[in-house]
Amino acid sequence: MTDAGTATASNLLVVDAGSSSLHLSVVDGEGRELAARHDSEAPGSGTRQVIEELLRRAPPVAATGHRIVHGGPRLLGPTLVDDTVRAELDRAAELAPLHVPPALTALDATRRLLPDAAHVVCFDTAFHAGLPQPARTYGLPQEWTDRYGLHRYGFHGLSYAWALDRAAALLDRPARDLHIVITHLGGGCSACAVREGRSVDTTMGFTPLEGMVMSRRSGSVDPGLLLWLQTSAGMEPEELTETLNRGSGLLGLSGTSGDTRDLVRSAADGDRRAALALDVFTLGVRRGVAACAASLDRLDALVFTGEIGCDQPEVREAVCAGLGVLGVTGGLRPVNVREDTVVSPAGATVPVLVVPTGEGQRVALETRTLLTRHAGQK
């Protein structure tokens, strides 16, 4: 394996593999992107060839950093991959079956292509590993909790860690002094309460299915309704799983699209289902933000990130216009955001910030930090 000290000063391959996409980038020690490829399909049988093609036209890399949605109960921070860690990742895959297996396909491909490189995995769950006990605990029998490890993990942590640092810079205040709510709105959607630099509550839970209505995911649904669908309507677990994860949310409500851009246009043209889908979605975001704010002493700012958070000003306005109870107001600047920006009016009681998603940058940062630490221990 490449010496960790060499890897910290060299180019990295950053791999962000999701349930329906694969984002690859080669970055140098300053974070500059040297080569990239973005596919709108999940990793599969051709992933090794895709990565190999990128590596052929990119400068040599000394290490790889991988975004993994779920680290399970034992992997709680950036970790160098060896065979033991790889086996642990298979166990974590059972908790996020739509997200982790594709990421492991990409990880296995890079380990075969770059056998002498350092390979690091960075987890969306890690940011929430220190959730306070009341926030992480479900109202289930303690025996179940202990036997099965049932608790809130939380997700989008790499996005939240990046957005927290960028928001602190925008506000010109240390992250350790802030009480803020960050909401990540994209294909998956969640909110997180951050108190003095730490996650203290979040809307996603044991899996990425809990919480807000999302693009294709249902978000939280009455568990009694799901039991009824199984026992009275005869629905099989496989159908429930597929529909809740891929056929619900904005897509299921509208019947046409899970993309807010399409729905905003359709609603303007009089499509009532599209309008209802957007109303259900924005109400869900407001509920999530308000619930997270209940874990703070005050609200210093509301931060939007994720593709919808950055590119859909109509959604931001609808969310903020309904949060007057928290001191958040509408009247935001109607812009598609490409850089860290304050979009609320000057003098707003609660500033509203937009931070472009930085999951890849955060993976690169965490990977280099881990490798530097390992180099210093040698």
* Phi-psi domain of 171 (left: phi exceeds 0; alpha: psi -120 through 50; beta: other): alpha
Taking the CB of residue 374, how many other CB atoms lie within 10 A of it?
Answer: 17
C-beta of residue 23 within 8 angstroms of C-beta of residue 67: no
Distance CA 332, CA 354 (A): 11
Question: Cα–Cα–Cα angle for 373, 377, 378, nearest 5°?
Answer: 125
DSSP SS3 for 87: helix
What percent of the chain clears pLDDT 90, i.e. is strictly above it? 92
Strands, sheet with 33-39, edge to edge from the N-terminal-most edge strand? 33-39, 22-27, 12-17, 63-68, 118-123, 79-80
pLDDT for the residue numbered 9? 58
| Per-residue model confidence as pLDDT tens digits over 163-195 | 999 999 999 999 999 999 999 999 999 999 999
Partners of residue 303 on adjacent β-strands: 182, 353
Burial class (CB in 10 A: 0-12, 13-18, 19+), 120: buried
User: Is residue 337 within 8 Å of residue 369, measured between CB atoms?
Assistant: no
Which pair of structure tokens corresponds to residue 230? 């199984």
* Closest listed residue to residue 275, CA positions, set 287, 289, 285, 265: 265
Give the pLDDT of residue 3. Answer: 60
The reported pLDDT for the residue numbered 137 is 98
pLDDT tens by residue, 363-376:
999 999 999 998 87
- At 6-53, the pLDDT tens digits run 565 589 999 999 888 899 999 999 999 999 999 988 899 999 999 999
Give me the pLDDT at residue 57, please.
94
Mean pLDDT value across the chain: 95
Residue 39 annotated among the catalytic residues of the structure: no
Choosing from 16, 124, 201, 311, the catalytic residue is 124
